Chains A and B, each alone.
Chain A
Amino acid sequence: MTANTALILALLTPLLGALMIGLTGRWPNLRETVTIITAVSLFALVIRVLLGLNAGEDIGFELFTVMSGVGIAFNTEPLSILFAMIASGLWIVTSVYAFGYMRSTNEINQTRFYVCFAIALFGAMGVAFSANLLTLFIFYEVLTLSTYPLVTHKGDAKAKAGGRTYLGILMTTSIVFLLPAIIWVYSVAGTLDFTPGGILEGNLAAGSATLLLMLFLFGVAKAAVMPVHKWLPAAMVAPTPVSALLHAVAVVKAGVFTLIKVVIYIFGTDYLAEVPYESIAVYLAGFTVVAASCVAIRQTNIKRLLAYSTISQLSYIVMATMALAPFSEIGAAIHIASHAFGKITLFFTAGAIYVASKKTEITQLNGIGWRMPYTMVAFAIGALSMIGVPPTAGFVSKWFIIAGAFQLDNYFVLVVLVISTALNAAYFLPIIFNAFFKPEDVKLKEHGEAPPSMVIALCFTASLTLLFFFFNGPVLDLETQLVGGMP
């Protein structure tokens, strides 16, 4: 199989999987087997594409032309393959986790759940492999729409309200800001292809580019830069596997992924550096990092705390991208991976705690570490990665972002990182401490660990968080190509 065929199949597999899951919905065991087979084969296909990319194979195809100069087209490059690998790889783990979670909580409409999940992955693959902004936009919307039934899964008033906020903000921003931004690019450049070095230089006056950049920054609300972040806490009404894979990995990373693509392949970092007031984007993201952490401290619900932590971490990536130093671009790309491992672990543990003990609040967690040792150790590893302490994944990306800040003597970025690290420590460390060293005071029911499939999944992602600290070489090599080799 050539890498090109693998690329085509990687786009088709989740869609086909969704169909098969729908057809086998009557037999839960078969349905879940199909889910796993789909996830595993998708990951294998993405690996095949990666091998092809490394071997310098010619990968990419156009499905059809929509209008002159733009078509529905796909290709791959270092960033897209990284995103695709994380999303598809973690889908396997999440599926294993979801089987335990969905059965233990006796969720309704499980078939619809798995079908929408597969379609969401289809959207994520499309976003990852899109060769131009139009294709990306289309799959961006697929991702929004397919996750709506997942967010409103419970179907009660709270879920509906959350779904309304979710869809409202994501759709509004994408139609009101992102779409005109894309059409604007098309009208001045005549193309929307992702081109190394960008396509705007010489086509758009630098003054107007400031406005265009803002349209992109707020149009891609999936990156959750304040004030378009409200949808993410609202999405927490979803079952935990959704929050774990989609609202910590696939959906939100699709957002920052889009922004990195736009900065590197549409604007081009050299051109963007000349755009006046470009640093507004850095300041906005920096503000979000700090503000979201401050809000997180005040949260009592575990999942909402994690949501605000995600908002803060996403803005790390946005801030690093907009800082425009070669090191910070690499740091931004790597943070997509390292944050994914850490945050999915944290969500897995939140779900495991809920399934085992029905606890959802932070204040209820005193002493839970002894009842659920694996879960809480995994939580600790994930939390340390958020703070950026070695030996966890979070440290690696933070290292590069700081190196980028020094490259440009950008002390704003540096200060934001320092404050945010302190804030992260302030809201994660007490939870770990209380879980292990305070006596249990709230007891909703007698319990031990969550079902094995969930514990296995969260231990796996926790070990990934640790392993990424030691074995990040291949990812680093790949992502340095983004800025044309190690600076």
Chain B
Amino acid sequence: MLMHLPVLVVLAPLLAAPVVALTRGAIWPWLLSTLVSWFSLLCAVLLLIQVQQQGLVIYTMGGWEAPWGIEYRIDFANALLLVLITGLASVVMPYARLSVEQEVGAERSPMFYAALLLLSLGLSGMAATGDAFNVFVFLEISSLATYTLIAMGRDRRALTASFSYLVMGTIGGTFYLIGIGLLYVMTGTLNMADLAERLPAISDSSTVRTGFAFIVTGICLKLALFPLHLWLPNAYTYSPSAVTALLGATATKVAIYILIRFVFTVFGPEFSFGAEPLAEVLIPLAVIGLLSASTVSIGQPNIKRMLAYSSVAQIGYIVLGIAMGTAMGLTAALLHMFNHGLMKGALFMTLGAVAYRMGGTNLSDMQGLAKTMPLTFWAFVIGGLSLIGVPLTVGFVSKWHLILAAVELGWWPIVIAILVGSMLAVVYVGRVVEAGFFGEAKDPTRREAPASLLIPIWVLIFANIYFGIDTRLTVDIAEAAAAQLMAGGSVR
């Protein structure tokens, strides 16, 4: 079984999804999805251990060698990402039961969980595969699942949110597909490793350069880089709480991984940063994005939307790390990819608990939370501190590495931008904390959220602190991944 790990991560939810869709009631689909997601997590963790031993795990689908068959290539970067995706799914699934019962309804539960499984399968597939077209297939699977899930939100505005994401997401997917098509015309292969081998010889051709532009733009739409982020705030705000948690923590991260994979592995840093002006394009966008989105989030009355804008800002940090084009910057980007997943997952789940008890996630619903729902409130405080980047949380670890990378390059204005972004985070997190701490609760009789919501939340909060203190695991893997990516080591 161990040799099949790369495919098992993806296969388990794929097989389970139709079964879940056929079940009845609210309990069975939930139970089945939870068990499957735990199984996937187990596979992902074992896979990570395997990668740590071997450095690279190659799996040929059905025994067909590439380029005839599809191959899965797992190195440090996507092994870490797989742990993040399956880990978050494993926490969100048990959390979802009560929240979904209330927000989506028992009769739609089977469809909901099937879609949620398809989403996590699509994301894992994108991360695991070593085939550029296969990425597109999984991208579409996850996107379609996402449109469905967003549309299941309680608020009728969820429908327009879903529709506008559908339009934007399709444009992004199409751009990506056009890019892949152009590369296929030039190289005759869709396997990433082969692409990486053949591209340098023809990198001068305008077709390849056009393909590069299409691919990067398409992915940047999916990862919601400023100014292509307009779909994100509505999508996050109106989807059911459990969906927002999973989406916010993993979906954009996978797109970021695909960007990294193409920029560093397929095209190679020499092409991306030398021949193409990638850094010159991405850095201003990332900086403007992180500053403007942080500023906008300060004024949001709906806290879910506030965190959505904060996500746009955090993506700015990650893209900044990528755009530095150095091993240090890439390490920071990978670290923040993982760490941001942990903090945003925790924060969105906390808001889900607030919505469950208070019926909404506006600032007015957060008033006096410290008294009525202390455990939920303190989870939000710790998650918020992590978002700011206070020491002993994961946010500090990634921010430290990002600043270190910028200092190493001597990019002082960038250092200042990162720090100003953190200060803005102090303001928008502080606003909520102040309301919760000093505000008068609308209804002081509301009680703490039930344990089945609190336990998953605190598992993630604990992870936020644990990986903020014991950084060996994450930093070592991120460094190893960055080294592999910089050397193109996983493909050559």
Contacts and interface: CB of A to CB of B under 8 A. Distances in A.
Nearest to B381: A145
Contact of B391 (A137, A168, A172, A187): A137
A72 B471 CA distance: 12
Residue among B403, B416, B470 with most chain A CB within 10 A: B403
B423 A187 contact: no
B11 interface: no
A371 interface: no
Interface residues of A, number: 27
A300 B403 CA distance: 45
B415 interface: yes
Given A65-B472, A160-B438, A175-B422, A183 B404 contact: yes
A151 to B, nearest CB: 12
B339 to A, nearest CB: 14
B475 A67 contact: yes
Summarize A's interface: helix, strand, loop or mixed: helix
Nearest to B390: A141
A138 B392 contact: yes
A180 interface: yes
Given A67-B475, A183-B407, 11 more contacts: A64-B470, A66-B397, A141-B390, A145-B385, A160-B434, A167-B426, A171-B388, A175-B419, A176-B420, A176-B422, A176-B423
23 contacts: A64-B470, A66-B471, A67-B475, A72-B469, A134-B391, A141-B390, A149-B437, A167-B426, A171-B388, A171-B426, A175-B388, A175-B422, A176-B419, A176-B422, A176-B423, A179-B399, A180-B407, A183-B400, A183-B404, A183-B407, A186-B404, A187-B407, A187-B408
Given A138-B392, A145-B390, A160-B438, A180 B430 contact: no
A152 interface: yes
Interface in B373-416: 385, 388-392, 397, 399-400, 403-404, 407-408, 415-416
Contacts of B385: 145
A65 B473 CA distance: 12
A141 B408 CA distance: 25
A412 interface: no
Contact of A152 (B389, B392, B399, B438): B438
A141 B391 contact: yes
A94 to B, nearest CB: 25
Given A138-B392, A187-B408, A172 B426 contact: yes
B403 A180 contact: yes
Contacts of A134: 391
A416 B222 CA distance: 61
B426 A179 contact: no
Contacts of A64: 469-470
Nearest to B472: A65
A187 B470 contact: no
Nearest to B391: A138
Of all A-B residue pairs in the complex, the 4 with the closest CB atoms, nearest first, are: A138-B391, A176-B419, A187-B407, A183-B403
Contacts of B422: 175-176
A184 interface: yes
A155 interface: yes
B24 to A, nearest CB: 47
Interface in A164-182: 164, 167-168, 171-172, 175-176, 179-180
| Interface footprint category on B | 20 to 34
Contact of B423 (A66, A160, A172, A183): A172
Contacts of B426: 167-168, 171-172, 175
Nearest to B389: A175
A351 B426 CA distance: 33
Contacts of A187: 404, 407-408
Interface of B: 385, 388-392, 397, 399-400, 403-404, 407-408, 415-416, 419-420, 422-423, 426, 430, 434, 437-438, 469-472, 475
A149 B416 CA distance: 29
A272 to B, nearest CB: 21
B391 A67 contact: no
Contacts of A175: 388-389, 419, 422-423, 426
Residue among A134, A149, A164, A180 with most chain B CB within 10 A: A180
A155 B385 CA distance: 21
Contacts of B469: 64, 66, 72
B440 to A, nearest CB: 10
Contacts of A160: 434, 438
Contacts of B434: 160, 164
A262 to B, nearest CB: 17
A187 B402 CA distance: 12
A183 B437 CA distance: 33
A66 B423 CA distance: 24
B27 to A, nearest CB: 38
Given A137-B391, A138-B392, A180 B419 contact: yes
A237 to B, nearest CB: 13
Contact of A167 (B397, B400, B430, B475): B430
A179 B390 contact: no
Contacts of A172: 423, 426
A141 B400 CA distance: 15
A155 B404 contact: no
B66 to A, nearest CB: 37
A271 B391 CA distance: 30
A216 to B, nearest CB: 15
B471 A67 contact: yes
Contacts of A184: 407
Contacts of B423: 171-172, 175-176
A41 B82 CA distance: 49
B391 A180 contact: no
Contacts of B390: 141, 145
Contact of A179 (B397, B403, B408, B472): B403
A183 B420 CA distance: 16
Interface in A342-371: none
A186 B328 CA distance: 14
Interface in A133-173: 134, 137-138, 141, 145, 149, 152, 155, 160, 164, 167-168, 171-172
Interface in A41-67: 64-67
B438 A155 contact: yes
B386 to A, nearest CB: 13
Residue among A155, A164, A179 with most chain B CB within 10 A: A179
A190 to B, nearest CB: 11
A230 B350 CA distance: 35
Nearest to B402: A183
A72 B416 CA distance: 26
Given A141-B391, A160-B438, A172-B423, A180 B415 contact: yes
Nearest to A140: B391
Contacts of A141: 390-391
Residue among A65, A67, A145 with most chain B CB within 10 A: A67
Nearest to A188: B407
A179 B438 contact: no
A464 B37 CA distance: 65
A67 B328 CA distance: 13
A134 B416 CA distance: 20
B405 to A, nearest CB: 9
Interface in A63-102: 64-67, 72
Nearest to B475: A67
Contacts of A168: 426
Contacts of A183: 400, 403-404, 407
A186 B472 CA distance: 18
Nearest to A155: B438
A168 B426 CA distance: 8
Contacts of A137: 391
Contacts of B430: 164, 167
A160 B404 CA distance: 35
B473 to A, nearest CB: 12
Interface in A241-267: none
B469 to A, nearest CB: 7
A66 B475 CA distance: 9
A91 B472 CA distance: 37
